Amino acid sequence: MYKWRINDITNHDGETRIDNKYPQRIGSIVNIATPEKNDFTFLMEYIEDNEGNEKNGFLFTSKVKKVSNEKEKMVVKTENSIYYLQKLDEK
């Protein structure tokens, strides 16, 4: 299973989300816990927070509208946000 870094979370206009807990989520390391399907919530399991500390819990998105998964990068467009993920090397 690959680990992923949340590189950015934006509004649909392309601006980085700075509201609520979004700034704390950016930089976190996660596992993808659900299949990449449209019209379902995307679930990510936290491994590390954005400071490298171990973190437990899950991040639930709003409903997924589109997933683009190309080799090392994944873009998940939801009803409310766009998540930019970077695949990390297996260790």
25-54 confidence digits (pLDDT tens): 999 999 998 777 778 889 999 999 999 999
Q: What is the pTM of this model?
A: 0.91
* Identity of residue 84: Y
* Residues forming a β-bridge with 25: none
The range of the structural domain enclosing residue 8 comes to: 4-87
Q: What is the mean pLDDT of residues 51-74?
A: 93
Containing 45, the helix (H) or strand (E) segment is: strand 41-48
Query: Which pLDDT score is estimated for 16?
Result: 98
Count of structural domains, the chain: 1
Residue 56 · residue 49 · CB < 8 Å: no
Structure tokens at 62: 């709003």
20: Cβ–Cβ under 8 A, 6 or more apart, which residues?
none
